[in-house]
Amino acid sequence: MRYSAAVNSWNEWDPLQEIVVGSADNACFEPTEPGSRPAIRDSPDTPFPTGPKSKEAIERANEELAGLAALLDSQGITVRRPEPHDFSAPVRTPGFEVENQYCAVCPRDVMITMGNEIIEATMSRRARYFEYEPYRKLVYEYWNADPRVEWTTAPKPSMRDGMYREEFWEWPLEQRHARMHSFEFCVGQDEVVFDAADMSRLGRDILVQESMTTNRAGIRWLRRHLEPRGFRVHTVHFPLDFFPSHIDCTFVPLRPGLVLTNPERPLREGEEKMFLANGWELVDAPQPVLGNDEMPKYCQSSKWLSMNVLSMSPTKVICEEREKPLQDLLAKLDFEVFTVPFRHVFEYGGSLHCATWDVRREGICEDYFPALRYEPLV
């Protein structure tokens, strides 16, 4: 019998064997920079704090992350954690300076497994430039353990001022609405830019969202890298999301043939065709229990963190403890639903999917879109 590689994950749902769960140790507030304008929810005119998060905020998040790790462990899944990193250290490169870094709560934003390959994203924000570092020891371990494991670091962008379109942040909502079909955000199009969490894996087919954190050059780079390896890369858009960043609160594949969709962020017209023509069902998530106004005050993500679930298998899914309407829907769809409290992690920009990076799942590369016609770049 041939064992699967030390790194092996082709989709978002196959039975999970090994996963990295993030850590809030040494987390800092995300600084204001051209790719990010953090604001306090109930007091947008008060300057956003800088430097380290409070000990209490870190402990609360770490407790919930440990609860997730314990649940995964109880299901026989190997859980790994990032290495400590000094996020309070400033970063200075020839192109930019930033006063502090961010955190290692959301490995999903940085790292992605594409079959037997680990890809480190370019990242889109200065404070996250070195966010691969807490995972490097693990990457070396996997890479040393198995010659089938490939490891790719995507080209680092300069992150100079000129890479960004800073006026984006000043556009009023009406202007954004008028421009919603042009998909121009705070990153320009000259350099390769992507966050790993803008991708979703469905066997041979990879979705990439064009967003504030992934530009068209980033998607071109991904196509040129992945197509020769047998993948088909599909760009997707959600024109009613005026601040799109990371696909996993918008379009969440749960098992072959089923995607959990965001009722406020429909796919661009025409992009649903590949799903419908291949017998997939798109099911809207219910409204989250917390409204946008009720999210933690330093949280920069939307209420749709509710749908940021983590699949342990095609029949077992982990959902935030208080999201009862979503739990009920998932149960109706024949999932065994596990729950953990995760509200304190929201402050760090993610929920259960964001706060993890699956390294090994059972299974092989499958084609779930047999009726698809695809034009490769070359």
Footprint of ligand ABU (CB under 6 A): 245-246, 249, 301-302, 304, 349-350, 354
Parallel, antiparallel, or unpaired: how do β-strands 310-313 and 281-284 relate?
A: unpaired
Q: Which of 106, 186, 319, 354 is catalytic?
A: 354
Q: Which is nearer to ligand ABU, 7 or 260 (CB)?
A: 260
Give the integer Cα–Cα distance in Å for 70 and 67: 5
Q: Are 221 and 235 in contact (CB under 8 A)?
A: no
Output the smallest distance, CB 5 to ligand ABU, in A.
28
Are 335 and 317 contacting, i.e. CB atoms less than 8 angstroms apart? yes
Q: Count of residues for the chain?
A: 378
Active site residue 353: no
Of 5 and 103, nearer to ligand ABU (C-beta) is 103
**Closest approach of ligand ABU to the CB of residue 117, in Å:** 23
Q: Which is nearer to ligand ABU, 116 or 311 (CB)?
A: 311
| List 246, 299, 319, 358, catalytic entry | 246
Contact 29, 98 (CB under 8 A): no
The three-state secondary structure class of 306 is: helix
Shortest approach of ligand ABU to residue 57 CB, angstroms? 18
**Annotated catalytic, 354?**
yes
Q: Which is nearer to ligand ABU, 266 or 349 (CB)?
A: 349
Residue 199: closest CA among 152, 175, 231, 165: 231
According to DSSP, residue 70 is labeled H
Q: Minimum Å distance from CB 248 to ligand ABU?
A: 6
**C-alpha to C-alpha distance for 132 and 111, rounded to whole angstroms:** 7
Q: What angle (nearest 5°) sits at the alpha carbon of residue 46, between those of residues 245 and 308?
A: 25
Go through 200-218 and write b for each residue having 16 or more CB atoms within 10 A of its CB, e for each that does not.
bbbbbbbbbbbbbbbbbbb
CA–CA distance, 34 with 249 (Å, rounded to integer): 23
In the structure encoding, which two tokens stand for residue 378, read together? 């070359």
Spatial contact of 143 and 135, defined as CB atoms under 8 Å apart: no
In this complex, which beta carbon is closest to ligand ABU, that of residue 101 or of residue 301? Answer: 301
C-beta closer to ligand ABU: residue 81 or 246: 246
Q: Please count the other Cβ atoms lying within 10 Å of the Cβ belonging to residue 93.
A: 14
Check 25, 109, 195, 205 and give the catalytic one: 195
Catalytic residue list: 195, 246, 354
